[in-house]
């Protein structure tokens, strides 16, 4: 893991009082995303009240081009007028996203005169009230960009946006369109094309669904170096989207998996499942996976190391989840194959199995190398997709329960575009479709059971869809929210927008519908309480948090505007006992939800839920 300069500085300052120097203070770091310009316009006043309760002064929302120009030359600003007026009354700052296209000007970057007129009209109308403008959302994603993403093409749109905005008022702030992740190649291509001169704030969306906040910022030094290289090194960085979703466990686990396991004589309620999680060796994809939450149908969920695979007891752990994505360290694949040879059952629930080789660097990191189907014959499994086989569709039009499992579950149609086959079976093996999919001219399988009875004696269960590992429980969401903000501020991020305020909750298991920190009826989740507690403990104007690391434990410290020192103690993943040395009186101890806690003694068990200590002059930690 790589740490920022701010983080490393924290290592040197653990236990010290933090000087409240003005240049080291946060200004106004708290924001949320809310769809108040779209479907949530009617409830915007209620949402703004919730934001005020959070002490979050910024709301990011789309100012869609198609929402103000329904047909060429027909402009209607009535909805945005209402929104801007309501936000002003509620003392909420709106961060508008200038985004997307219209049918007669798509993709927008090829129609810059039309785009420029849209920007000019919108910004002119609201420039006095709205001082910051974001130029597109996630331009490195094809779905949003409406074309093949290209940093140089984005630079053209950004330049035109900048020119139009600055003509209206040179003091207005232009944000680089928040990127999905930290795509260094895309950003560099845009900077090479001149983008460095056409934004005031760099902007990223470093979603980290399978990871914890503590590993989110490893690429930030590279981004800063890239910005310095191209003359933008002094510009601030914001995060205008970050968050974790909290839907119910996927039906793939809850509804489909139990009858498939019954087919091979495994009762999950009486069985244990082993899940590989080895962050020490750099294979941390499961570090944030809430295994107990997703695999609650099993009697026991055990996290194991890669080194445990060689001797994994099949009777004790009849089901093994070696990976929850398409990557795996292939140097350990022989141990996985040996487990299946001993009669074990592999569960591969997300994407193409063993599609990428995670090559460890020996320093707790590594890189993924695409290997396609190189290793699948050894496991007797196989797949095909539109890029590998003629006649294979890019995406299926339908899915259905296979006849063998008729009446056992219903299928919630989510296209995968990846299909499992029997091409690598050996004599004695059986390929059993679970969910079939296809078009008018193609029939395939997206969920299958490989029942093996050749040189391999176990089973392999494969689902080619995604999204079964990218979600968390509401409890976990609440733990990670304040840590994300503290870590971001410590790494020099000036403003952070949580995605998002309200969860739509239209479908119980749909990831996009459950990012919010309040429910659809606006009642709070635990994460709302965690946000409110954070802003009370570290209000705007506090010194930038300094973070130190001891073992797995983290210690953050800052000084509030009222001159009171506050400290936060937590671990990224699992509880850890530490030696806590506190210098001075603790006026208050509260957990991440704002609940009062006893003042800890010399021994304290840190957890992923922050403990705030208010008042002491110094705090230090040591792993016992």
pLDDT tens digits along 562-599: 999 999 999 998 899 999 999 999 999 999 999 999 99
Residue-level pLDDT at 543: 97
| DSSP helix/strand/coil, 569 | strand
Q: Does residue 490 contact residue 546 with C-beta atoms inside 8 Å?
A: yes
Kindly state the average pLDDT of the residues 67-79. Answer: 97
Does residue 282 sit in the same domain as residue 369?
Answer: yes
Q: Does residue 256 contact residue 285 with C-beta atoms inside 8 Å?
A: no
Asked if residue 608 belongs to a domain, the reply is yes
Residue-level pLDDT at 21: 40
Q: Using a CB cutoff of 8 Å and minimum separation of 24, what contacts does 599-605 make?
A: 603/577, 603/578, 603/579, 604/569, 604/577, 604/578, 604/579, 604/580, 605/575, 605/576, 605/577, 605/578
Residue-level pLDDT at 15: 39
Q: If pLDDT is split at 50, 70 and 90, which confidence band does 530 have? A: very high
Does residue 158 sit in the same domain as residue 139?
Answer: yes
Task: Indicate if the pLDDT at residue 230 is higher than 70.
Answer: yes
Asked if residue 9 belongs to a domain, the reply is no
Does residue 220 sit in the same domain as residue 324?
Answer: no
Asked if residue 572 belongs to a domain, the reply is yes
Residue-level pLDDT at 284: 60
Asked if residue 6 belongs to a domain, the reply is no
- Residue 225, domain CATH: 3.20.20.80
Kindly state the average pLDDT of the residues 50-78. Answer: 97
**Percent of all residues in the chain with a pLDDT value above 90, rounded to a whole number:** 84
Distance in angstroms (rounded) separating the CA atoms of residues 271 and 184: 44
User: Residue 485: left if φ>0, alpha if ψ -120 to 50, beta else—which one?
Assistant: alpha
Q: If pLDDT is split at 50, 70 and 90, which confidence band does 84 have? A: very high
Distance in angstroms (rounded) separating the CA atoms of residues 267 and 291: 18
Task: Specify the DSSP class assigned to residue 336.
Answer: H
Residue-level pLDDT at 287: 56
At CA 136, angle to CA 133 and CA 140, rounded to 5? 140
Asked if residue 17 belongs to a domain, the reply is no
Q: In what order do the strands lie in the sheet with 356-360?
A: 327-328, 356-360, 366-370
Q: Using a CB cutoff of 8 Å and minimum separation of 24, what contacts does 166-171 make?
A: 167/120, 168/120, 168/123, 168/124, 168/127, 169/127, 171/131
Alpha helix positions (H), 171-219:
184-192
Asked if residue 13 belongs to a domain, the reply is no
Quickly count helices (H) and strands (E) in the chain. Answer: 15, 31
Burial class (CB in 10 A: 0-12, 13-18, 19+), 234: exposed
Asked if residue 348 belongs to a domain, the reply is yes
Read off the pLDDT of residues 300-327 as tens digits, 9 standing for 90 and up. Answer: 999 899 999 999 999 999 999 999 889 9
Last residue of a domain, one of 498, 518, 537: 537
Distance in angstroms (rounded) separating the CA atoms of residues 175 and 201: 5
Q: Does residue 487 contact residue 260 with C-beta atoms inside 8 Å?
A: no
Kindly state the average pLDDT of the residues 69-92. Answer: 97
Read off the pLDDT of residues 193-213 as tens digits, 9 standing for 90 and up. Answer: 999 999 999 999 999 876 789
Does residue 450 sit in the same domain as residue 490?
Answer: no
Read off the pLDDT of residues 11-46 as tens digits, 9 standing for 90 and up. Answer: 333 333 343 343 589 999 999 999 999 999 999 999
Read off the pLDDT of residues 474-493 as tens digits, 9 standing for 90 and up. Answer: 999 999 999 999 999 999 99
Residues sharing a CB contact under 8 Å with residue 293, sequence separation 6 or more, in sequence order: 249, 472, 473, 476
User: Residue 615: left if φ>0, alpha if ψ -120 to 50, beta else—which one?
Assistant: left
Does residue 430 sit in the same domain as residue 495?
Answer: no
Q: Does residue 83 contact residue 47 with C-beta atoms inside 8 Å?
A: no
From 167-176, 242-251, 538-547, 591-600, the region with the lowest mean pLDDT = 242-251
Residue-level pLDDT at 387: 94
Burial code (b: 16+ CB inside 10 Å, e: under 16) for 593-604 equals beeeeeebeeeb
First to last CA, the chain: 23
The domain tally of the chain equals 3
Does residue 269 sit in the same domain as residue 173?
Answer: no
Torsion over CA: 477, 607, 6, 140 (sign): negative
Dihedrals φ, ψ of 189, to 5°?
Answer: -60, -40
Q: Does residue 600 contact residue 589 with C-beta atoms inside 8 Å?
A: yes
Does residue 222 sit in the same domain as residue 129?
Answer: yes
Residue-level pLDDT at 263: 97
Asked if residue 42 belongs to a domain, the reply is yes
Distance in angstroms (rounded) separating the CA atoms of residues 206 and 81: 32
From 89-93, 321-325, 345-349, 378-382, the region with the lowest mean pLDDT = 321-325
Q: If pLDDT is split at 50, 70 and 90, which confidence band does 372 have? A: very high
Residue-level pLDDT at 554: 97
Does residue 55 sit in the same domain as residue 160?
Answer: yes
Distance in angstroms (rounded) separating the CA atoms of residues 532 and 38: 25
Last residue of a domain, one of 485, 516, 537: 537
Residue-level pLDDT at 501: 98
Read off the pLDDT of residues 349-370 as tens digits, 9 standing for 90 and up. Answer: 989 999 999 998 776 667 889 9
Burial code (b: 16+ CB inside 10 Å, e: under 16) for 160-182 equals bbbebbeeeeeebbbbbbbbbeb
Read off the pLDDT of residues 414-424 as tens digits, 9 standing for 90 and up. Answer: 899 999 999 99
Distance in angstroms (rounded) separating the CA atoms of residues 208 and 181: 8
Task: Specify the DSSP class assigned to residue 250.
Answer: P
Does residue 260 sit in the same domain as residue 301?
Answer: yes
Distance in angstroms (rounded) separating the CA atoms of residues 600 and 551: 19
Residue-level pLDDT at 362: 74
- What is the distance, to the nearest Å, from the Cα of residue 89 to the centroid of all Cα atoms in its chain? 33
Does residue 79 sit in the same domain as residue 154?
Answer: yes
- Residue 260, domain CATH: 3.40.50
Alpha helix positions (H), 441-573:
474-490, 526-537
- Residue 613, domain CATH: 2.60.40
Does residue 241 sit in the same domain as residue 255?
Answer: no
| Residues of the domain holding 309 | 251-463
Does residue 314 sit in the same domain as residue 367?
Answer: yes
Strand ranges in 364-510 using DSSP code E only, listed in sequence order: 366-370, 382-385, 398-401, 418-421, 430-438, 443-451, 459-463, 495-498
Last residue of a domain, one of 512, 537, 562: 537
Residues sharing a CB contact under 8 Å with residue 211, sequence separation 6 or more, in sequence order: 284, 285, 287, 288
Mean pLDDT of the chain: 92
Q: If pLDDT is split at 50, 70 and 90, which confidence band does 163 have? A: very high
């Amino acid at each position: 893991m790589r740490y920022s300069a701010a983080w490393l500085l924290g290592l040197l300052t653990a236990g010290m009082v933090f000087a409240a120097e003005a240049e080291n203070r946060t200004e106004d770091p708290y924001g949320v995303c809310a769809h108040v310009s779209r479907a949530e316009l009617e409830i915007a006043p209620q949402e703004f009240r919730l934001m005020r309760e959070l002490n979050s002064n910024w709301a990011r929302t789309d100012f869609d081009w198609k929402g103000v120009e329904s047909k060429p030359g027909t402009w209607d600003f009535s909805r945005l007028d209402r929104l801007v007026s309501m936000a002003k009354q509620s003392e909420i700052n709106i961060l508008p996203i200038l985004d997307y296209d219209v049918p007669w000007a798509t993709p927008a970057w090829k129609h810059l005169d039309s785009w420029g007129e849209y920007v000019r009209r919108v910004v002119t109308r609201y420039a006095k009230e709205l001082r910051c403008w974001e130029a597109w959302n996630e331009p490195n994603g094809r779905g949003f960009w409406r074309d093949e993403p290209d940093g140089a093409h984005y630079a053209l749109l950004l330049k035109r946006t900048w020119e139009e905005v600055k003509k209206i008022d040179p003091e207005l702030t232009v944000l680089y369109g928040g990127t999905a992740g930290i795509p260094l190649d895309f950003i560099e291509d845009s900077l090479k094309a001149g983008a460095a001169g056409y934004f005031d704030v760099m902007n990223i969306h470093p979603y980290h669904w399978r990871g914890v906040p503590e590993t989110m910022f490893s690429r930030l030094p590279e981004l800063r170096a890239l910005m310095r290289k191209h003359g933008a090194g002094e510009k601030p960085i914001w995060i205008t989207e970050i968050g974790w979703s909290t839907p119910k466990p996927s039906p793939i686990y809850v509804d489909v998996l139990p009858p498939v396991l019954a087919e091979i004589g495994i009762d999950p309620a009486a069985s244990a499942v082993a899940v590989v999680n080895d962050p020490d060796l750099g294979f941390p994809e499961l570090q944030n996976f809430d295994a107990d939450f997703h695999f609650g149908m099993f009697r026991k969920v055990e996290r194991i190391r890669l080194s445990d695979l060689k001797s994994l007891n099949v009777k004790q752990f009849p089901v093994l989840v070696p990976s929850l994505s398409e990557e795996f360290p292939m140097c350990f694949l022989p141990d996985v194959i040996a487990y299946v040879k001993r009669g074990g059952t592999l569960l591969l629930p997300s994407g193409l199995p063993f599609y990428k080789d995670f090559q460890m660097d020996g320093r707790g990191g590594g890189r993924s190398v695409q290997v396609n189907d190189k290793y699948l014959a050894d496991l007797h499994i196989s797949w095909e997709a539109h890029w590998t086989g003629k006649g294979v569709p890019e995406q299926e039009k339908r899915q259905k329960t296979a006849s063998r499992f008729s009446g056992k579950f219903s299928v919630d149609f989510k296209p995968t575009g990846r299909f499992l086959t029997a091409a690598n079976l050996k004599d004695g093996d059986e390929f059993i479709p679970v969910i079939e999919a296809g078009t008018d001219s193609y029939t395939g399988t997206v969920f299958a059971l490989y029942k093996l009875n050749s040189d391999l004696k176990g089973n392999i269960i494969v689902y080619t869809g995604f999204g079964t590992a990218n979600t968390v429980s509401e409890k976990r969401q609440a733990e990670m929210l304040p840590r994300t903000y503290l870590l971001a501020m410590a790494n020099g991020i000036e403003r952070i927008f949580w995605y998002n305020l309200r969860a739509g909750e239209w479908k119980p298991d749909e990831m996009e519908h459950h990012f919010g920190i309040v429910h659809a009826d606006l009642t709070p989740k635990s994460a709302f309480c965690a946000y409110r507690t954070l802003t009370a403990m570290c209000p705007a104007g506090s010194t930038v948090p300094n973070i130190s690391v001891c073992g797995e434990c983290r210690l953050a410290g800052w000084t509030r505007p009222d001159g009171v020192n506050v400290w936060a103690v937590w671990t990224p993943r699992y509880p850890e006992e530490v030696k806590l040395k506190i210098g001075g009186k603790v006026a208050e101890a509260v957990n991440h939800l704002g609940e009062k806690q006893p003042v800890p003694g010399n021994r304290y068990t840190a957890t992923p839920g922050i403990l705030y200590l208010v008042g002491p002059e110094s705090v230090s930690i040591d792993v016992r």
